[in-house]
Every structure is written in structure tokens, then in C-alpha cells.
């Protein structure tokens, strides 16, 4: 597991293209999917899970506080969800974790059905 906050670290550790970040913004589906795929590759895992977002206290690159994108990458492909979460910085982070784990749960349930 890795927790990566800095944009340049997302590129260095997870292999996210700086051009992708520039084109779509750090809080976006394409970047979240690239982070999940990068985590999967970096840790030689079957499934990668990633979150990117704005917990606060200020907006980031035009994305308002509470905007979160979660993504999963695995043998069945990739999926992402963008959501808007209420509350304090801590609340946004806690809820984002729950949303990410739920996306992973749904992904794994889908894998069982195949």
C-alpha cells in the first residue's frame, strides 16, 4: 500500500504521465485509473486501487473541496467513480476510503460472477 499526495510523486512512484495530469487534471478519472494501474504494476498485485481528490481546506486546479475520484485496475479492466463528499478534511478522507473499498468490493463481486 502507498499513500501518495504530491503530484510529482504520483508520476515518480506510480508512473502516471505528467502529460496525462496536465491534460486532465490531477483530480480526474484518467489520472485515478493510471494511479490504480501504476499501483498494480509497482506492487505486482492482481488489483490496484487508487483515490485522488481534494480533501480541503481549499480547492485544487478548479476542483472544489470534497471532489474525489476512486479507481480500480485489474484483470477485468479498469473502472472509476467521481463523487462529491461533504464535511471536514478528515470526513472527506474517511468517506473517500469507504467509497474506494466499496468500488473494490463491487469489482471483486463482478469477478466472481464471470
Q: Is residue 2 part of a domain?
A: no
Is the pLDDT score of 1 beyond 60?
A: no
Is the pLDDT score of 112 beyond 90?
A: no
- How many folded domains does the chain comprise? 1
The pLDDT of residue 3 is 66
69-95 pLDDT tens trace: 999 999 999 999 999 999 999 999 999
Q: Is residue 1 part of a domain?
A: no
Q: What angle do CA 55, 58, 62 make, to 5 degrees?
A: 95
Q: Is residue 109 part of a domain?
A: yes
Range of the domain at 33: 7-113
Q: Is residue 13 part of a domain?
A: yes
Task: Determine the 3-state secondary structure of 10 from DSSP.
Answer: helix
Query: How much is the average pLDDT of 45-60?
Result: 94
CATH code: domain of residue 76: 3.90.950.20
CA separation for the pair 91, 99 (Å, rounded): 12
Amino acid at each position: 500500500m502507498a499513500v501518495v499526495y504530491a503530484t510529482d510523486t504520483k508520476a515518480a512512484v506510480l508512473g502516471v504521465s505528467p502529460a496525462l495530469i496536465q491534460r486532465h487534471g490531477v483530480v480526474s478519472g484518467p489520472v485515478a485509473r493510471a494511479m490504480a494501474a501504476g499501483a498494480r504494476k509497482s506492487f505486482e498485485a492482481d488489483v490496484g486501487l487508487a483515490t485522488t481528490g481534494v480533501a480541503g481546506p481549499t480547492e485544487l486546479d478548479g476542483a472544489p473541496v470534497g471532489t474525489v475520484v476512486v479507481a480500480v485496475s485489474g484483470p477485468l479492466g479498469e473502472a472509476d467513480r467521481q463523487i462529491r463528499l461533504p464535511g471536514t478534511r478528515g470526513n472527506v478522507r474517511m468517506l473517500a476510503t469507504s467509497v474506494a473499498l466499496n468500488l473494490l468490493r463491487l469489482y471483486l463481486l463482478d469477478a466472481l460472477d464471470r
